[in-house]
Amino acid sequence: MKFELVAKNIDITKELSKKLTNSLSKLKGALQSFSTIEKPGSIILEKRPRKEEYKAKVTFHLPKHTVSTKDVGFSPEQALHKAAEDARDQVLKVKGLLKDIHEKKRKAKIK
């Protein structure tokens, strides 16, 4: 799955881009089983204007589910890492739900 990155009040340098890619690696690994999804996800990274903190929001769509997480950190990497971990946890829950539904349907056919 591809993600569109939107930066508000912050410049994305090459170093920061590499760090953000590393933060998303576990999430992308969890999303490999949903490789047929063509609609890109969105990442909004924002520096709060009056506080020294950053806000990250990760949103994307899965079959019959929308995953949306947001988190705050003292650096853009920290904020995105926290939001990506929350999104990864939600993806794993959705995978478990879909697997359970599939197993119930399979068992119902056998009976």
Structural domain boundaries in the chain: 3-110
**Residue 75: pLDDT band with limits 50, 70, 90:** very high
Opening angle at CA 45, ends 19 and 31, nearest 5: 65
> What dotted CATH number matches 3-110?
3.30.160.100
pLDDT tens string 20-68: 888 888 888 888 877 777 788 999 999 998 888 999 999 999 888 899 9
**What is the DSSP pairing of strand 41-47 with strand 3-8?**
parallel
**Residue 111: pLDDT band with limits 50, 70, 90:** low
pTM: 0.82
- pLDDT of amino acid 55: 95
